[in-house]
Amino acid sequence: MPESPATPEHSEVPADATDTPGVPTSEQRVDPEAIEIAREQEHVDKVNVRVEQLLLNADAITREGLARGRSGSFGGLVERDAFVHVASRRKHLLNREHEGLVFGRLDFDNRVVHHVGRIGVLDETYDPLVLDWRAPAAAPFYQATAHDRLGVIRRRVIRCSGPKVISVEDDLLDTEAELDGMNVIGDGALIASLSRARTGQMRDIVATIQKHQDEAIRAPSDGVTLISGGPGTGKTVVALHRAAYLLYRDRRKFETTGVLVVGPSRTFMRYIERVLPSLGEDSAALRSVSELVDGYAASRHDSPEIAAIKGAAKIAPVMGRAARFIPPEAPSEFRLLYRGQLLVASGPQLKGLRRNVLRGNRKYNRSFRAVKDALSDLLYREAGERVQEERNLSEFREELGDREEYNEFLAAWWPMRTPADVLHTLRDKQFLQVCAGGALRREEIALLAEDWAAHDDFSVQDIGLLDEIRDALGEIPPPPPPRDEFDLAQYEELTTAADREYAVAGTRVRPDNYAGYGHVIIDEAQDLSPMQWRMVGRRGRFASWTVVGDVAQSSWGNPAEAHAAMLESMGKGTRREFHLDTNYRSPAEVFRLAADVIRAVVPDADLPDAVRSTGFEPEHVITDELRSATGDAVRRLLDDVEGIVAVIAPAARCDEVADWIAEYDAERVSVVDELSAKGLEYDGVVVLEPDEIAGGNARGTRILYVVLTRATQRLVTIGRTADWLPRDAASGVETPAVPDEDDTGERYAAQPSLWD
Chain contacts with ligand ATP (rule: CB under 6 A): 190, 193-194, 203, 205, 208-210, 213, 229, 231-237, 550, 553, 584-585, 679, 681, 709
Least CB distance from residue 209 to ligand ATP, whole Å? 5
234 is in an annotated binding site: yes
CB 715 within 8 Å of CB 618: yes
Least CB distance from residue 239 to ligand ATP, whole Å? 8
DSSP state of 603: T
Q: Among 704, 610, 605, which Cα is nearest to 650's?
A: 704
Closest to ligand ATP by CB, 13 vs 116, is 116
DSSP state of 569: H
Closest to ligand ATP by CB, 471 vs 550, is 550
Least CB distance from residue 208 to ligand ATP, whole Å? 4
CA-CA distance, 727 to 705, in Å (whole number)?
16
Least CB distance from residue 237 to ligand ATP, whole Å? 4
Closest to ligand ATP by CB, 594 vs 722, is 594
Least CB distance from residue 302 to ligand ATP, whole Å? 22
Closest to ligand ATP by CB, 278 vs 544, is 278
CA-CA distance, 28 to 248, in Å (whole number)?
39
Closest to ligand ATP by CB, 203 vs 747, is 203
726 is in an annotated binding site: no
CB 216 within 8 Å of CB 226: no
- Beta pairing partners, 224: 545, 575
Least CB distance from residue 517 to ligand ATP, whole Å? 21
8 is in an annotated binding site: no
- Beta pairing partners, 609: 582
Closest to ligand ATP by CB, 233 vs 496, is 233
Q: Among 102, 91, 18, 27, which Cα is nearest to 58's?
A: 91
Least CB distance from residue 210 to ligand ATP, whole Å? 5
Least CB distance from residue 727 to ligand ATP, whole Å? 25
Q: What residues contact 582, with CB distance under 8 A and at least 6 apart?
A: 210, 212, 233, 234, 608, 609, 611
Amino acid in position 532: Q
232 is in an annotated binding site: yes
CA-CA distance, 97 to 158, in Å (whole number)?
17
230 is in an annotated binding site: yes
CB 133 within 8 Å of CB 117: yes
**Angle CA(620)–CA(621)–CA(624) in degrees, nearest 5?**
150
Closest to ligand ATP by CB, 274 vs 321, is 274
- Beta pairing partners, 685: 646, 715
233 is in an annotated binding site: yes
Question: Which stretches of 250-367 are DSSP H helices?
Answer: 251-257, 266-272, 275-278, 304-311, 316-324, 347-358
Closest to ligand ATP by CB, 476 vs 611, is 611
CA-CA distance, 536 to 530, in Å (whole number)?
10
Binding residues: 229-236
Residues annotated as binding site for ATP? 229-236
